Amino acid sequence: MSDAPDPREPYDAVATAPAQPSTPPILEAAHARLEEWEGEALVLNLFEGVTSPGGATGAVDRALGGAVSELIASGELTGKAGQVAVVHTRGALPVKRVLVVGLGPSDGFGPEAARRAAASAAKRAQELGVRHLATIAHGAGVGGLDPARSARATLEGSGLAAYEFRGWKRRGEEGARLERVTLLEADTGKLPALEAGARLARAVVRGSYLARDLVNAPANVVTPERLAAAATGLSETVGLRVTVGDAAWAAEQRMGALLAVARGSENGPRFVVMEHNAGRDDLPTVVLVGKGVTFDTGGFSLKTRDGMVPMKGDMAGAAAVIGAMSAAAELGLELRVVGLCPCVENMADGRAYRPSDVIVASDGTSIEVLNTDAEGRLALADALVYARRYRPAAVVDVATLTGSSIVALGAGVSASLFANDDALAADLERAAEETGERVWRMPLFEEYAKAIEGQVADLKNSGGARGGVGTAAAFLKAFVDYPWAHVDMAGMELVEKPGPRSYLQAGASGYGVRLLVEFLAARAPRP
């Protein structure tokens, strides 16, 4: 036997070396008078077109001898969305500097505008080296948002904007990072509502950070096993019940579709089950299903070189479900919530499944494989069948499923929403409006189901390129017998340029976490 070192060792060492963690800033609400705040920076706001600031901004302006009014008069501060002006207080106030962020037009103002404004201010503060930032709640006055919603949007935008994935980069001394954001309120009567909004913001920001870290990590680090391990860790941090099945377990469950996808990889599959309020049969049950393809070569239907590069993000649906489950547990939502993540790698070797193969899902449905790159729907099929055992009131699956969704709606613009239940679809649309994680409902025409009728099996796993987003949804629909919605988030998982969504950075978006948590929170019975 040769004593030569294993050539795989350096590669595997990278995979086992922990990444530098990304930790969200502390997000809180506190009772304080703006004029008495002693800190590094204070964020105020201004609607577009306002020439004489009022409210908190007006009060601080007067204390500063009209410094904000001077900026307005000179045209340097217009209130345009995302604009940030910096005013040095020069001892007129205990705080060192004041940041005035533009909110844009007051007409149609909503939580997304507040979120974006807060993010713009937080990014500017971080550029200035601010570690502890104070802010007022955006949109709580003229904007028409109630205190809880304005607090949540303000702190959420600030927290999301501070995200940085450092990974394995070797660097010298790090610059200042935002460590704490405090929402100030002088009226003690409003504090309970503000604190409720802050609590929700903390949970969803932590869940989003977790999802973003998982998607940003490379595929040699986030394998099916390690993705499952990230979910398992939630049993200690937030108290979820987590169980993980391997290939042998999946075989016992007769998950032929999941196992077919897994055949070509040395990294075996994992099936993750996360439960919040496990055993609470007195509560309504909602099941979340996330596609966990940790890398997708396309199998023998091989992707192009450029098309393969972003495929580490093909598990973003599972990452969103893991992040949402973490937040649901942290918030203690009065729902029974189950998260299912079929985790698998789609590779090509001598054992890999082939075009023209026939496989059988766990409910006995036979599937003719036309395209091994249509693998996500196969893994999801067995997960959707597994969801039946919970007798769910609703099931929502989230997946980077088709390039056709990107063609239809654009990269980074909106996810596609399909549903067999109008009320469920409406609930998700409301959640999308509140969180800014857009969905656009698409039809489930009969023609889509006809297009995937098999010749030698019950179904084909592809209906062709035309109408692909619809035929993929129709394929999933064949495995459900409960109220169900499908969110095709292809193109939403990775960001090249944040654009107007100032709370994002290049890389993973964390899409789906806030959408799912808002959906769950709205369904949870109120105490």
- Helices 191-216 and 224-232: angle between axes, nearest 10 degrees: 160
For residues 187 and 140, the answer to whether their CB atoms sit within 8 Å is no
* 505, 495 contact by CB (below 8 A): yes
Instruction: Identify the H or E element spanning 394.
Output: strand 394-399
Q: Is 377 marked active-site? A: yes
Judge contact between 259 and 269, C-beta under 8 A. yes
Residues contacting residue 189 through CB under 8 Å, at least 6 positions apart: none
Catalytic: which of 116, 190, 336, 377? 377
Q: 10: burial class by Cβ within 10 Å (0-12, 13-18, 19+)? A: exposed
Residue type, 11: Y
Helix (H, G, I), strand (E, B) or coil at 416: strand
Give 171-215 as a DSSP string. Answer: -SSPPP---EEEEEES-GGGHHHHHHHHHHHHHHHHHHHHHHHHH
Tokens 């007051």 belong to 106
The count of other CB atoms within 10 Å of the CB of residue 170 is: 4
180 bridge partner residues: 26, 132
Under DSSP, the state recorded for 10 is H
Tokens 């100030």: give the residue: 184
Contact in structure between 427 and 337 (CB atoms under 8 Å): no
Q: Tell me which amino acid residue 306 is.
A: D
**Secondary structure letter of residue 25 according to DSSP:** P
- 80 tagged catalytic: no
Distance of CA 248 to the CA centre of its chain: 31
Task: Report the distance separating Cα 370 and Cα 373, nearest Å.
Answer: 9
Greatest Cα pair distance in the chain: 83
3-state secondary structure of 66: coil
**Token pair of 164 as six digits:** 């940085």
Orientation of helix 376-386 relative to helix 468-477, angle to 10°:
30
* Number of helices followed by number of strands (H, E) in the chain: 18, 20
Output the DSSP codes for 253-295.
Answer: TT-HHHHHHHTT-SS--EEEEEEESTT-TTS-EEEEEE-EEEE
Beta-carbon contacts of 265 under 8 Å, excluding residues fewer than 6 positions away, are 344, 345, 346, 347, 349
Among 131, 241, 303, 388, which one carries the catalytic annotation?
A: 303
Count Cβ atoms below 10 Å from residue 66 Cβ, excluding itself.
13
Active site residues: 303, 377
